[in-house]
Amino acid sequence: MKFTVEKENDNIYKIDITIPAKDAAKAYDEAARRIAQYVNVDGFRRGKAPRAVVERHVGTERIKHEAMDSLMPKAIAEAVKENDLDVITQPYITKFEFNVGQDLTAEVKVETRPEVVLGDYKDLNVEVESAQVPEDAFDKALQNILNQYATQELVVDRPAKDTDIAVIDFEGTANGEKIVGGDAKNYPLDLGHSNFIPGFAEQIVGKNIGDEFNINVTFPAEYHDEKLKGQPAVFKIKLNEIKERQVPDLNDAIEQKIEPFKTVDDLKADIQKYLDNQKENSNRQNSENAVFAKVIEAASVEIPQTMIDREAESLTNDYKQRLQAQGLSWEALEKTQGAESLTDTIKEDAKVRIKNSLVIDKIAKAENIKLEPQDLQKKFSQLGAAYGMNQTDLMKQLGKNPEVLASLSQQALNDKVRDFLMQKNTVKFVEPKKEKVETK
């Protein structure tokens, strides 16, 4: 076997491969025999038809492609290894000449990893603004816990307030037609935290029990139902009940056994611990991001357009799936942000992700940072916990999704490199800069 490698441009290499006629003919015969095993040829038992009969039945081109599938992977792998090419995509055959009895020649294109030039990534001194806990965070956290033990008491002597829960019957119409799913009986609507159409809950405030009235609203332009996007609608409302939340005081809540706390001091200590942990986690995350940003800024790499286009396509597909899960459409987002602006944003995001990944891989190689079984095990555990899956079921699913497994491996490597960078660099926490207040 012979091959020559030539760099065409950027990170694209052309490999010319020549496979001796003897080896090519052998692969062709073996391919014909394999095909004969699963095709029916009149007058012959399966697998017993001569090669000439198989050729007439399926055509020589099919046999050649079958032979190429067995020959080329090994040939390409040898060429890549011998020339130390760091291939990042599946190689593809651009042309070939395959005549039985003659040498097989093929031209293959491969895309290699762009060269990354690292700047300083160790012994850095990085200043990071210390995470701040809002002054009212403790009180809000305590109040949220008390709200969980609130009761709902019927109100009969006043109109609805914006903090009440209104129990209503409603029926909606748009463009003279009844809205599918736009009606309900005795629906409890939290007037202060409504996820209904904007303006819906506000028009119930001030109404009394037994009132029947209409509400006029307009569906959002990005609404998931195409027929209702931006359309005006009318809802007939009947207010059946008004309920007011009664929040217990702290001592009463403890008596109701807020698990696992037995005293008010125990509960307050736990809240403070939570806030302290939250601050610590924020500081750790901000530190990692600040150090990594310094390392990325100091590194340089020319990213080929082909890589950007692939990553942008992947990001676009990911965004579309997320929008669909939220009941939104990609077309609506394009109208809101502009198709060209959205495309440019995605391509910039793609560049950032690619550079981050390339720099991480370069540091891992330079420092001999490798994944160990326990690194992947940690990721499996995190994923299993997130989706409520046991280890066996998770591994079965990952076996069916090699792309997910590859992504987890990359994430695990990212974590190890980030840990390495935190160990090799110094972070100093400083007080956040106060915003200047302009005076006239």
The lowest-confidence range among 98-107, 121-130, 300-309, 324-333 is 324-333
Token pair belonging to 368 = 């001999």
Report domain 151-246's class: alpha beta
Residue 153 has pLDDT above 70, yes or no: yes
pLDDT tens for 368-382 read: 999 888 888 888 788
Q: Is the pLDDT of residue 394 over 80?
A: no
State how beta strands 232-246 and 125-129 pair.
unpaired
Q: Other CB atoms closer than 10 Å to residue 19's CB: what's the count?
A: 24
Q: Does residue 128 contact residue 30 with C-beta atoms inside 8 Å?
A: no
- Who wins on pLDDT, 25 or 11? 25
pLDDT of residue 386: 78
Residue of 434 and 158 predicted with greater confidence: 158
Q: What is the pLDDT at residue 328?
A: 78
What stretch(es) of the chain map to CATH 3.10.50.40?
151-246
Q: Average pLDDT in the 276-289 region?
A: 95
Looking at the chain, the domain(s) classified CATH 3.30.70.1050 span 2-112
Q: What number of other Cβ atoms are within 10 A of residue 108's Cβ?
A: 22
Q: Where residue 256 falls among pLDDT bands split at 50, 70, 90?
A: low
pLDDT (tens digit per residue) in 40-61: 777 677 767 778 887 888 888 9
- For residue 34, give the DSSP letter: H
264-430 adopts what CATH topology?
Trigger factor, domain 2 (1.10.3120)
User: What is the residue type of 353?
Assistant: R
Q: What is this structure's pTM?
A: 0.70
pLDDT of residue 173: 95
| Residue 424 confidence class, pLDDT cut points 50, 70, 90 | very high
Q: Can you tell me the distance from the alpha carbon of 390 to that of 385, in angstroms, rounded to the nearest whole number?
A: 8
Averaged pLDDT for residues 305-327: 88
What is d(CA 56, CA 287) in angstroms, rounded to the nearest whole number? 69
Count of beta carbons in the 10 Å neighbourhood of residue 277: 10
Cis ω on the peptide bond leading into residue 114 (within 30° of 0)? no
153 DSSP 8-state letter = E
Residue with tokens 């940072």: 369
Q: How far is CA 35 from CA 38, 47, 161, in A?
A: 6, 8, 77
Our CA angle for 338, 343, 345, nearest 5°, is 95
Task: Say if residue 273's pLDDT is above 80.
Answer: yes
What pLDDT, on the 0 to 100 scale, is given for residue 191?
95
Number of Cβ within 10 Å of residue 367's Cβ equals 15
Distances (CA, A) of 122 to 365, 368, 411: 15, 15, 21
- Residue range 161-175: mean pLDDT, rounded: 95
Task: Tell me which residue has tokens 């809802």.
Answer: 235
> Is the CATH number of domain 2-112 3.30.70.1050?
yes
